[in-house]
Amino acid sequence: IAQVHFFRREVRDFRTAANHAIALNPRDSETLGVMGNMFTSIGDFERGPNLARRAMHLNPHHPDWFRFPLMFEHFQKGDYEGALEELARVNMPGFFWKPLYVAACCGLLGRQAEGAAAVQEDQRALGRAGRRADADVVVPVITSKRGQGLLQLRAQVLVLRRQHQLLAERLARLVDVEA
pLDDT truncated to tens, each residue of the chain (179 aa)? Answer: 999 999 888 999 999 999 999 999 999 999 999 999 999 988 899 999 999 999 999 999 999 999 999 999 999 898 999 999 999 999 988 787 888 888 888 888 888 888 888 888 877 777 765 553 433 333 333 433 332 222 223 222 233 334 445 555 655 566 554 43
From 170, 101, 165, select the one nearest 137 (Cα to Cα): 165
136 three-state secondary structure:
coil
Q: At how many degrees (to 10) do helices 97-109 and 163-174 cross?
A: 30
Distance CA 105, CA 165 (A): 19
From 10, 168, 122, select the one nearest 178 (Cα to Cα): 168
pTM listed for this prediction:
0.71
Rg (C-alpha) for the chain, rounded Å, is: 16
Distance CA 179, CA 173 (A): 8
Q: What are phi and psi of 144, to 5 degrees?
A: -130, 150
